[in-house]
Amino acid sequence: IGSQGIVQGTYETFAEAAERRFGGTLAGTITPSAGLGGMGGAQPLAVTMSGGVALMIDVDPTRIRRRLETRYLDRMADSLDDACQQATTARDQREPLSIGVVANAAEAIPQLAAGDFPAAAVLSGRHLFVADAGEGPNQLVVYDPITRTTAVTLPSGCSSPPAREPG
* DSSP character string of 71-125: TS--EE-SSHHHHHHHHHHHHHTT--EEEEEES-HHHHHHHHHHT-STTGGGGGS
Q: For residue 147, what pLDDT is reported?
A: 52
Residue 132 binned pLDDT confidence (cut-offs 50, 70, 90): very low
* Per-residue pLDDT, 114: 60
pLDDT higher than 70, residue 163: no
* Prediction pTM value: 0.71
Q: Within the chain, what is the greatest distance between any pair of CA atoms?
A: 41
Predicted confidence (pLDDT) at residue 126 exceeds the cutoff of 90: no
Please report the pLDDT score of residue 79 as a whole number: 92
pLDDT at 120 > cutoff 80 = no
More confident residue, 69 or 157: 69
Rounded (5°) CA angle 165-166-167: 105
Q: What is the pLDDT of residue 162?
A: 39
CB 76 within 8 A of CB 55: no
Residue 148: other Cβ atoms inside 10 A: 8
Is 10 exposed, middle or buried (CB count within 10 Å of its CB: 0-12, 13-18, 19+)?
Answer: buried
Q: Residue 74: what are its φ and ψ, rounded to 5°?
A: -85, -45
Question: Which of the pair, 12 or 131, is modelled with greater confidence?
Answer: 12
**Using 50, 70 and 90 to split pLDDT, how confident is the model at 36?**
very high
pLDDT at 2: 65
What pLDDT is recorded for position 121?
Answer: 36
Cβ pair 96, 90 in contact under 8 A: yes
